[in-house]
Amino acid sequence: MVTTSSVVAWLQKLNDVYAENKGYLTDLDSAIGDADHGINMARGFAKVAEALEQQAPEDIGAACKTTSMTLIKTVGGASGPLYGTFFLKASMQATGKAELDAQGLLNLLEAGADGVVARGKAELEDKTMVDALLPAIEAMKAAVDQGVGPMLTAGVEAAEKGMKATIPLVARKGRASYLGERSKDHQDPGATSTHLMLKAALETLAG
């Protein structure tokens, strides 16, 4: 079972993950964006870690809501609203819940993904975070009956494939879309940060 404390551990681990990958994500973003994705994600999740330490969340929904509000307040560019929306919609699936089984966790992640799609209006192969997120959700649906660990493993593998599949794409959304054909041959930074988020979930929630 996924517990409130394990979800908090996941969200706090993202502080370390994005701090470690700040340069990598910024390099990816400098090729096709504003060169700020790594900086924004690192700053946002540093603030999330602070907020979760200052006030321990009562349940999983509260942990996700604190994350959402903090990201929306502190992160610029597209990533703040998109990741903020992800965690806001996720929080609604876990209001008052201190434990989630595999299906409950899938519902949380799928609600977050649906929120990102609705907010960003992106589709598969637009060269955005959706290219990692939606294949991950589909893979997790297929593996949900196997439990949290196998489900997340399947999701991470699908997210990685989706991330790598953005390299040959021409961007159709976001700042990268202004570059047209020049956006080819670059891995999308949002898809990369999404893969990192799910990988951290596997490492902390699989139990």
Specify the number of domains making up the chain.
1
From the list 64, 63, 43, 20, the residue with the least C-alpha distance to 192 is 20
Residues of the domain holding 53: 2-205
Query: What pairs with residue 2 in β-bridges?
Result: 100
**pLDDT 10s digit of each residue in the chain, 207 long?**
999 999 999 999 999 999 999 999 999 988 878 889 999 999 999 999 999 999 899 999 999 999 999 999 998 778 889 999 999 999 999 999 999 999 999 999 999 999 999 998 888 888 899 999 999 999 999 999 999 999 999 999 999 999 999 998 877 767 666 566 766 878 999 999 999 999 999 999 986
Distance CA 20, CA 200 (A): 12
CATH code of the domain in which 131 resides: 1.25.40.340
Residues in the chain: 207
Indicate the SS3 state at residue 104: helix
